[in-house]
Amino acid sequence: MTTLLLVRHGLTAMTGPVLAGWTPGVPLDERGRAQAAALAARLVPLPLAAIVASPLERCVETAEALAAARAAGPDAAPAEKIETDERFGEVRYGDWTGRPLKELAEEPLWRVVQAHPSAVRFPGEDGESLAAAQHRAVAAVRDWNERIAAGHGPDALYAVCSHGDIIKAVVADALGLHLDQFQRIQADPASLTVIRYTETRPFVVRVNDTGGDISGLVPESSGEDGGGEGLGPGDAVPGGGA
């Protein structure tokens, strides 16, 4: 029952007007640093087994804020090492990288991105398909789930700092949605999305959470029956449960 906390990076100067993609040297701006600090403070009570980040600067900075807040918290410990995994990196948008979204919206491919994203491969030598980006990100989640469970037990939590389209693609997979439906999911800057993985199925616990109580995410030992009489850890409770 490994629980994944997906964190989108905070705002940058390019977030919104421009498709940053893999543009190098795009740090958080003042707003993004404040967002990352606020989210980090909220997550301090959670016993994270690891903090993983896309190698892009804006995600590493957001992850570093999580680690710094934990090191300065009431149960202060040495700052956790941030591990990077390129599979959580942004979609490789190819020739679209660095271009204004207003301009891209005039491209014929834009409508395909909106309506049929599973068919999209971004133009240019390094352009990636959205299906390939989803595949690598989901594969990374599965690898990290196994690694975290092996090292910290099946009830462990860990955080991954990534990008909007990558987070949406992972959520679509967890929900059993075709990639063509992933545009129905939203992941705002510095938002929290939570997925609990079991042998039976993933449970999408939160999506695009930008504030509020996180005490319900603190893991409790599932015990032999999954926390309810006769229930396994992967069972879904009819009626929604308590």
Query: What DSSP string runs through 143-154?
Result: HHHHHHHHHH-T
Residue 219's identity, in one-letter code, is P
Asked whether the predicted pLDDT for residue 226 surpasses 50, the reply is no
Pick the CATH number of 3-211 from 2.30.29.30, 2.60.40.1180, 3.40.50.1240, 3.30.1150.10: 3.40.50.1240
Mean pLDDT for the chain overall: 91
Each residue's pLDDT tens digit, 63-77: 999 999 988 866 655
Tell me what pLDDT residue 225 has.
42
Mean pLDDT value of segment 159-187: 97
Cα four-point dihedral sign 32, 191, 63, 183: negative
| Rounded-to-5 percentages of helix, strand, coil across the chain | 40, 15, 45
Greatest distance between any 2 Cα atoms in the chain: 57
HSE (CB half, 13 Å, CA atoms) of 209? Answer: 20
Tokens of 12: 């940058």
Q: Residue 74 carries which DSSP code?
A: T
Domain ranges of the chain: 3-211
For 175-223, what is each residue's pLDDT tens digit? 999 999 999 999 999 999 999 999 999 999 999 999 988 888 888 765 4
Is 170:177 a contact under the CB 8 Å cutoff?
no
Can you give the pLDDT at residue 224? 41
Percent of the chain past pLDDT 90, that is, above it, reads 81
> Do residues 11 and 28 make contact, with C-beta atoms less than 8 angstroms apart?
yes
Whether 141 shows a pLDDT value over 70: the answer reads yes
Q: 134: which 2 tokens?
A: 């989803």
Taking residues 110-118, report their average pLDDT: 96
89: pLDDT strictly greater than 60: yes
Task: Name residue, tokens 């092996």.
Answer: 150
- Over residues 97-116, the mean pLDDT reads 95
Average pLDDT value for residue range 2-21: 96
What is the model's pTM?
0.90
Beta carbons within 10 angstroms of residue 105's beta carbon: 11
More confident residue, 226 or 113: 113
Span 3-22, average pLDDT? 96
Q: Across-strand partners of 193?
A: 6
- pLDDT for residue 232: 64
Residue 82 confidence (pLDDT) above 60: yes
Rg, C-alpha atoms of the chain: 18
Structure tokens given for 193: 């999305």
Note the pLDDT of residue 242: 54
Q: Give the whole-number percent of the chain exceeding pLDDT 70.
A: 88
H/E element holding 209?
Answer: strand 202-209
Contact 145, 158 (CB under 8 A): no
